[in-house]
Every structure is written in C-alpha cells, then in structure tokens.
Amino acid sequence: MNSPVRHLMQAGRLERFFIDGEWTVPEGPDRVAVVSPSTEETLCEIPLGNARDVDLAVQAARRAFARWSVTSPQERAAQLDRVHTLIIERAELFATALATEMGAPISYARAAHVPLAAEHIRVARDNLAKYPFRVQRGTTAVAREPIGVCALITPWNWPIYQITAKVGPALAAGCTVVLKPSELSPLSALLFAEVIADAGIPAGVFNLVSGTGPDVGTSLASHPQVDMVSITGSTRAGVLVAQAAAPTVKRVAQELGGKSPNVVLPDADLPRAVSLGIAAAFRNMGQSCSAPTRLIVPRSVLDKINELAVAATEQMIVGDPFAEATTHGPLANCAQFGRVQQMIEAGIDEGTKLIAGGPGRPAGFGKGFYARPTIFSDVRTNTTVAQQEIFGPVLAILPYDTVEEAITIANDTVYGLGAHVQGSDRELLRAVAASIQSGQVHLNYPAWDPQAPFGGYKQSGNGREYGIEGMEEYMEVKSILGYYD
C-alpha cells in the first residue's frame, strides 16, 4: 500500500470529509474507487457526498464567515504563513500522493506540482500584507470586501496546485470556502485538509466535501448560501456550473479548456523554440489546460522543425512515476486514456501526417494508462487535432506562409487561455502577442510568474487567478460617498 493511502487510513481521514473543523462521517453510503493510473489497480475507496453533506459544509462556512471576514489582514497572513510552512515540510508526502493518484513522475511532483502549489499560498500571504482594501477618491471611499462563502471546484490534472491557487486568495480576501476536489485524485486534497487543521485555521473557514460534479458540484453551485463559485475544469463542466448557479445570481469564475498556440516566428532560434515547445506541450503528460499543443511554424522550415520535434520527443522517458529516470508518467485516469486514443485515431483517419508516436501504449507496457507522445505535422487548422482540446501528449504542427496567417491560425479556436510566441525581434514579438486573443502570452519561454494573472478569453472562461487579480476575484466593491478623513 502506498504511503499517502496508508497515512490517511491510519489517521482516519480516508473515509471522511472535513467540515467545521472536524473529520466528519458522510451522510450517504456511496463510494468510488481511486485507481492507480500506473497499475490500474484500486488504491482505496473514498466517500461521495450528497446535498446534505454540502449543506452542512456551507452552513459551517456561513457561520465562520461572520468571524473570519473581520479579522485583520495581518491575522490572515499569519494563518497563511503556517499553511505555507506545513506544505513545505510535508512536500515529500504530497509528491508521493501525486505520483500515486494521478501518475505525475515523482521528480516532476517534487520540482513543480508541490513547490508551485506552495507558491500560491506564499503569494496570497504577501499580497494580503500590502493590499489597500480601501482607497480614497476625493470624498468617496472605494472599499473591497470579501464576497462571502465560496465554492471551489478543482480538477484532477494539477490537484494540489489548483487547490492552493483558489484557497490561498479566497482566505486572504476574508472569504470562507467549501472545496470539492476531483474524486479521481483526492489524496492530495485530504492531505491539504490536514495542513489546514494543523495550521490552526478556525473551524468552518475551510471545508472539504468529495463527490461528483452532478451531485456535489451542482449542489454547491445552486446553494442559496454560496456567494461565489470558482471552477477549474472542462468547458462543458463550466457551462453546467454556470447554469446551476444562474437562479441565485451568484458570481461564477471559470478557468476552462484551451487549445493554446505556440507561434514560431521566422527569426526564432529553431532548436530552442522547438525543444522547449515540445517540453511545454507535453509537460504533465499534456494534461494542462494551457499546454501549447498547436505549434505554428514557417512553412519554409517545416522539415527542419519536424526533425527537431521528433528528436525532442525521443528524449522523453515514459514510465513508472516512481522511477527517478521517468520524465513522463501515465495519463491520470482511464477515461482520459480513452479520449487521447480516440483523438489520435481521429487524426490518422483524417489523413493528417503522423511523424511520432501513435495509438496504443509504448512498447513494454501491457497495462497502465500510458500513452505514446504523438506529433502530427503539416496539420490543417480545421482538423480535429487542431481544434479539439485533447488533454494528452498530442501535438499538432501547423505551417504558415506569412506572419499575418500565423496570427489568424493562432486565433482560429473557440479557446483563448494561453499562448506562446518565439522570435528575436522584440517589437514583432510584442505586436504578435497583442494580436493573439488569449489571457496569457509567453514570449520566448519566460520563467513562471505566480503574480501574472491567469484566465481565458472566449470559451476558456472568465475571471482571473493568481496574483492581485486572483485575490480580487473573491471581493465585492463598495463605494461610500461623502466619506471624509
């Protein structure tokens, strides 16, 4: 038995929710199996919540809001500091949980998933300490106040990272929360609830109810005492949440799907642009909503780019997530494995040129949700692999003849979450970035910035996460006219 499962069982957490500061027995009998993506064996079972569990958690959060919302920024910052410290101290347990529950290579969990998750808490703490909750404009005071009880719905692909990206700024703003983590990767969420309890966060400020979207997600979105829903997930899930929330006219912040372009300009350093582009597209086994899975390149150098892309893919080691040499583990669950295989077959059926990978598991794997890193080249922009979010290690290389055509291809999608542009001419880089319809644009693979607002245009959602803007999502604006110092 893997250590996070054993730890949670021994601590009596695996069969419970975290409500009002207590590990609580669920109301209903329903359970779901948590399956190892590397072995396809059942790791454990967790309970699934219902509307009654949701109501208990929401009422606890409502009671706690009266106290938490009026604490000083310094008090909340001190609480978040303890949460940050405990995540760092328990980093190895979190990393093991991520490798166990969703197949992240242990090296990548240690280097990215866990430390970046901790960064969201640190940033929330630091922004809170200096944030002006009230500013004066002449005789009017403009105040920002916590919106209230927030339902946070997080996905399976970056489990702890997405939890802290929502919980950190929500608590910093003075809100209380009910978290619904994915039932497919719940172990890291339960470990985070332990951190919250051990950090001394007051009862009811943070609550956790596991369950499915149709049951717990819908109950949270429609609950009249929930003031805001923040969801990270598929565009389909975001639409359903918004529909459930509409009758109560609550705020819905959505971070949804993507089909992000990576535009390689004619003056780009091709070896760097392609090798890092492959790495960015296939990080986390391609299971990232902002992964740049459309590589848009000059037609005149398409053959050279194909060579570079195939060579970069051949450096990847798909294998056991607990093996130190592994760079890419399995896909996170059976349903996603099936979808990726379906999309690869669709690309082949449409006659798109396959230059790397293909359907099925890599050689040597008879079980586990392992997929072959796959590249299609000379792709038309109207094909399945160029238009649909695959959420796996599948890259489409699309050629262009002019920079204007490259921009048109980049924007030829219903999504607008992230984008990349590679080149040497600074003015051209910035001009192309300004022309792309997406919430983030990365120029020449910059370092990750936890203060950079993240969110989408078009069907990639609304609202922003990370940084100051991420915290402000959890606030209401109040104008007080005739306010004199």
The CATH number of whichever domain residue 441 belongs to comes to 3.40.309.10
Pair of tokens at residue 273: 């642009």
Has residue 455 been placed in a domain?
no
- Per the structure, how many domains does the chain have? 2
Burial 97-131 (b: 16+ CB within 10 A, else e): bbbbbbbbbbbbbbebbbbbbbbbbbbbbbbbeeb
For the chain, percent of residues with pLDDT exceeding 70 = 99
Task: Answer whether residue 484 shows pLDDT above 90.
Answer: no
Rounded distance, CA 140 to CA 398, Å?
53
Q: Is 90 a domain residue?
A: yes
Residue 267 and residue 236 in one domain? no
Residue 456 lies in a domain: no
One domain for residues 154 and 181? yes
- Span 148-158, average pLDDT: 98
Q: Average pLDDT, stretch 132-155?
A: 97
In a domain, 195, yes or no: yes
Report pLDDT digits (tens) over 247-302: 999 999 999 999 999 999 999 999 999 999 999 999 999 999 999 999 999 999 99
One domain, residues 160 and 294: no
> What's the rounded mean pLDDT across residues 153-157?
97
Q: Answer yes or no: are the C-beta atoms of 251 and 227 closer than 8 Å.
A: yes
Per-residue model confidence (pLDDT) at position 28: 84
**Please, what is the average pLDDT of the chain?**
97
Q: Tell whether 172 and 273 lie within a shared domain.
A: no
Convert the pLDDT of each residue in 41-68 to its tens digit.
999 999 999 999 999 999 999 999 999 9
CATH number where 191 lies: 3.40.605.10
From the candidates 175, 289, 389, 473, which is the catalytic residue?
Answer: 289
Beta bridge partners of 475: 146
**Distance of alpha carbon 142 from the chain centroid:** 32
Contacts of 356 (CB under 8 A, 6+ apart): 309, 310, 313, 314, 373, 374, 375
Go through 456-472 and write b for each residue having 16 or more CB atoms within 10 A of its CB, e for each that does not.
bbbbbbbbbbbbebbbb
Which residue range(s) make up the domain with 115?
3-256+461-480
pLDDT in tens, 107-116: 999 999 999 9
Sorted by sequence, the CB contacts under 8 Å of residue 108 that are 6+ apart come out as 283, 284, 327, 329
The CA distance from 481 to 351, in Å, is 65
222 and 270 fall within a common domain: no
Under 8 Å between Cβ of 231 and 255: yes
pLDDT at 2: 61
Please tell me whether residues 126 and 219 are part of one structural domain: yes
Backbone angles phi, psi at 17, to 5 degrees: -105, 170
Domain contains 454: no
Residues 309 and 234 in one domain: no
Catalytic one of 119, 194, 255, 465: 255
- Structure confidence at residue 1 as a pLDDT band (50, 70, 90): very low
| 279 within a domain of the structure (yes/no) | yes
Residues 342 and 442 in one domain: yes
Read off the pTM. 0.97
pLDDT in tens, 445-461: 999 999 999 999 999 99
Kindly state whether residue 228 falls inside one of the protein's structural domains. Answer: yes
What is the arithmetic mean of pLDDT over 155-168?
98
223 and 336 assigned to the same domain: no
Q: Are residues 286 and 408 in the same domain?
A: yes
Do 288 and 250 reside in the same domain of the chain?
no
46 lies in some domain = yes
Q: Are 194 and 306 members of one domain?
A: no
User: Does the annotation mark 289 as catalytic?
Assistant: yes
Active site residue 255: yes
